Amino acid sequence: MAIAVGQTAPDFTLKSQYDKEVKLSDFKGKKNVVLMFYPLDWSPTCTQEHVCFVNDMKKFDTLDAEVLGVSVDSAWSHKAYAEKMGIKYSLLADFQPRGAVADKYGVFLPDKGITGRAIVIVNKDGRVAWVKNYDIPVVPDVAEVASALQQVKAAGA
């Protein structure tokens, strides 16, 4: 079942490409979080999506947001991918059990064994403030995400 705006965002702890554990609740009261669920490292559409986010990171920094990429790839795949792509934000390995976090957010595709493409904004209170699901071959509009984040920031200010 898909997550809905207003719900408490399910907490999780996942390992990043930096071999560090990242816990969603650590951002509570500090930053809004943009959870970027994507199918796989190295795929063409995901690569385009990450290029857009990397190019617009200053915008997300000014909006007081932490961007976290989440897919079923291993932390080692994330490390190689982040180095190749120049990604500085955390890429989280929803690897074992496969897709468990994506499943909590209603975006895991068990028949394909991958994460669907979705953006979830979690506000500083730990609640889902915005969510949008995308078809696998669609690159999310970073400007739309930034605009939604601006509204979330304004509501929490």
Looking at the chain, the whole-number percentage of residues with pLDDT higher than 90 is: 72
List domains and CATH numbers for the chain.
Answer: 13-156 (3.40.30.10)
Q: Is 52 an active-site residue?
A: no
* pLDDT tens profile 13-35: 999 999 999 999 999 999 999 99
Is the entire prediction scored with pTM above 0.85?
A: yes
Answer yes or no: are the C-beta atoms of 46 and 38 closer than 8 Å. yes
Answer yes or no: are the C-beta atoms of 64 and 154 closer than 8 Å. no
3-state SS of 110-134 is CCCCEECEEEEEECCCCEEEEEEEE
pLDDT for position 46: 66
pLDDT for position 98: 95
* pLDDT tens profile 90-118: 999 999 999 999 999 999 999 999 999 99
Grade residue 55 by pLDDT with cuts at 50, 70 and 90. Answer: confident
Q: Which of 9, 24, 35, 46 is catalytic?
A: 46
